[in-house]
Amino acid sequence: MFELKTLFLFLITAVAEILGCYLPYLWLKEGKSVWLLVPAATSLALFAWLLSLHPAAAGRVYAAYGGVYIFVAIVWLWLVDGIKPTTWDVVGSMVALVGMAIIMFAPRHA
């Protein structure tokens, strides 16, 4: 159960971070409203708060989170940007997820 909760928390954390960065991108690169910075800031604050909910050491959480971020960014590429991931995108994101699982779920000696 701990593993599923951790993975779910990482997934929503990644969406919050990507959204918080994507909205300013829309403003800067696509000429969208500057008001997108308000939900972007809120999303980035949510991202930081969500990372703080993990019981593991911060450095371990940040390292493992990177693997989930890579996976979610590739899903974002497909669903939001409309670009189908290549085989290498998928393989790379799976490798990153395996790395996350090793970092977060490997047995540890107290």
35, part of any domain: yes
pLDDT of residue 109: 77
C-alpha span between 14 and 105 (Å, rounded): 19
110, part of any domain: no
18, part of any domain: yes
Q: pLDDT class for 110, splitting at 50, 70, 90?
A: low
pTM for this structure? 0.87
Note down the domain range covering 45: 2-105
- Residue 106 pLDDT more than 70? yes
- Residue 4 pLDDT more than 90? no
Domain count, the chain: 1
71, part of any domain: yes
Name residues whose C-beta falls within 8 Å of residue 75's C-beta, 6 or more positions apart in sequence.
none
pLDDT of residue 70: 96
54, part of any domain: yes
pLDDT of residue 1: 74
Give the closest residue to 27 by CA, choosing from 40, 14, 44. 40
Give the closest residue to 11 by CA, choosing from 89, 84, 75, 92. 75
